[in-house]
Structures are given as C-alpha cells and as structure tokens.
C-alpha cells in the first residue's frame, strides 16, 4: 500500500520495500564503486533501475547479479548496452529538466582536498549520491591528469582518467538532507572550479525545480549564511 499525497504539480506516493532480498539487491548494485543509478521507477509491479558504470566493473556487476539470481530469483530482466552521452540521454528523455547552478567561494568550500584537486587539475566531479551518508557524498572524478598523488583516491580506470573519492561539505550535506526529506532527486550533478569559486550543477525534473531552489535558500538560512551561495543559473535543458 502507498500513502498518496497531492502536491501542486504532481502526486507523491510513498511506500516501503518490505522484501529484504529486493532491498539487498538494490543495495549491492548501488554500492559498486563508480556505478551511478540514474533513476528508479515502477512498471507492471516491478522495480526498474537504470544506471551506468565503467566496463572495468562489469565482472563485479555480473557476480552480484548472478548471486542474486541464484539466491533470490528476483531479477526479471537485464539489459546492458553502450551508454550514450549524458547530453543525448537528457535530450531524448520524455521528461523536461531545469539546470540549476550554484557557486561557493573556493575557500568556503569545506573539502579543501577536493577543492584543491579541482583547481589544480583538469578535472570535473560528478556526484554519485543524491543524499549524504554520514555527511559524505561519493563522487566520480573525470580527469586528464593523474590523480593518484592525491589522498583518498580510488582508481576506476587510469587509462580513461576515471577515479572516485568522497567529499564532505556542510552546505551540500544540509541541502542533501532537506531534499531527501522532500524526496527530490537530481538526474545528474557535477562539481567544478572556475575563477576562484566551486560550482555545482544540478539537473532537476522541471516540475520540482522551484522546490529545489526553495531548499537551497532554506539550507542557507539553516546555517545562517545567506551570502554563502550564489544561484548562477536556472534554465531549461530539453524543453519539448
């Protein structure tokens, strides 16, 4: 059974996954280093997961899937295919998105290690997690530089310049907790440095974008720093 709540532009249905095997399957797949789950949805009584990972993680993914099929038999269908570009995926989506970009002064971003890395290398970070775990987010780093000299870096593919690490930032943690409580999630999120500021870009479903702006403002109010974050952009991505 679901609790259904009517909102301004949509209905929200909340329900708990009571099947432990299904939850374990989702957790096992989600915990593969560098794997990003784009979306979950319900279709004909099944939970559909869509995501992507580097081919170096294919064996780990296959082992988890095989284990779950043998033990729980709760996976009905698997489709593996080359990933299109992120831009192509967004353009081909049946859902409209807003791009919300915020910035924070370089020296006020809590994670100095990652801030320094973004400033001193040709690197862009992508958030893996919508919401923080123990105030930390997992991120993927795409770089044209060798990042192994930095602490806390895991290698996904040195050849392709893909790494992972974790970041901790007070503002992002508060924002993540607020959006979790409101069940708002982004489709993609990137972090990068430009001209002495740390930028974070969030691609949000259009019908929830204004709520996300409200969460950004509320997060600043909670830490009593209304001047901490600048909203740099609020624009359509793929309006049909």
| Nearest alpha carbon to residue 230 among 212, 218, 216 | 216
Number of domains in the chain: 2
The answer on 156 and 44 residing in a single domain is: no
Q: For tokens 């910035």, what's the residue?
A: 103
Distance CA 133, CA 131 (A): 7
Q: Are both 78 and 130 inside the same structural domain?
A: no
**CA pair distance 67, 146, nearest whole angstrom:** 35
Q: Which domain holds residue 52?
A: 3-83
Rounded to whole angstroms, the Cα distance separating 211 from 225 reads: 20
Q: Which of 83, 111, 143 lies at the terminal end of a domain, its last residue?
A: 83
79 and 105 housed in the same domain: no
**Looking up tokens 């859902």, which residue turns up?**
95
> Do 48 and 159 share a domain, yes or no?
no
- First CA to last CA distance, the chain: 34
Q: Where is the domain boundary, 83, 109, 138?
A: 83
Give pLDDT tens digits along the chain (240 positions).
556 666 666 666 666 777 777 778 788 888 888 888 877 767 777 777 778 888 888 888 888 888 777 665 666 777 777 777 777 777 777 778 899 999 999 988 888 899 999 999 999 999 998 888 888 899 999 999 999 989 999 999 999 999 999 998 889 999 999 988 888 888 889 999 999 999 999 999 888 899 999 999 999 999 888 889 999 999 988 655
Q: What is the pTM of this model?
A: 0.84
Which token pair is 105? 């002064």
Q: How far is CA 124 from the centre of its chain?
A: 14
Q: Which residues contact 64 (CB under 8 A, 6 or more apart)?
A: 25, 28, 29, 32
Q: How many CB atoms lie within 10 A of CB 91?
A: 13
Q: What are the b/e assignments for 7-37, b being 16+ CB within 10 Å?
A: eeeeeeeeeeeeeeebebbbebbeebbbbbb
Residues 78 and 104 in one domain: no
107 domain-assigned? yes
Do residue 63 and residue 175 come from a single domain?
no
Residue 103 CA to chain centroid, in angstroms? 17
> Which of 83, 118, 144 is at the close of a domain?
83
In a domain, 90, yes or no: no
Same domain, 48 and 25: yes
40 and 150 co-located in one domain: no
Cα–Cα distance, 217 to 147 (Å, whole number): 34
Q: What is the pLDDT of residue 72?
A: 58
């Amino acid at each position: 059974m679901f609790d259904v709540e009517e909102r301004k532009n949509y209905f929200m249905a909340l329900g708990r996954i009571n099947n432990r095997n299904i939850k374990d399957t989702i957790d096992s797949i989600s915990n593969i280093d560098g794997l990003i789950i784009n979306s979950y949805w319900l279709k004909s009584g099944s939970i559909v997961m869509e995501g992507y990972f580097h081919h170096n993680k294919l064996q780990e993914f296959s082992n988890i899937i095989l284990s779950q099929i043998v033990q729980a038999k709760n996976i009905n269908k698997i489709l593996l295919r080359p990933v299109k570009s992120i831009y192509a995926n967004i353009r081909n989506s049946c859902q409209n998105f807003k791009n919300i970009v915020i910035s924070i002064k370089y020296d006020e971003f809590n994670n100095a290690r990652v801030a320094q890395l973004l400033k001193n290398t040709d690197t862009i970070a992508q958030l893996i997690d919508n919401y923080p775990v123990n105030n930390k987010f997992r991120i993927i780093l795409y770089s044209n530089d060798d990042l192994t000299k930095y602490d806390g870096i895991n290698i996904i593919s040195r050849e392709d310049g893909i790494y992972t690490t974790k970041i901790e930032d007070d503002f992002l943690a508060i924002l993540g907790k607020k959006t979790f409580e409101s069940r708002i999630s982004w489709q993609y999120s990137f972090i990068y440095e430009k001209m002495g500021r740390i930028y974070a870009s969030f691609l949000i479903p259009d019908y929830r974008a204004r709520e996300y702006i409200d969460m950004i403002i509320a997060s600043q109010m909670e830490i009593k720093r209304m001047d901490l974050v600048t909203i740099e952009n609020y624009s359509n991505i793929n309006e049909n």
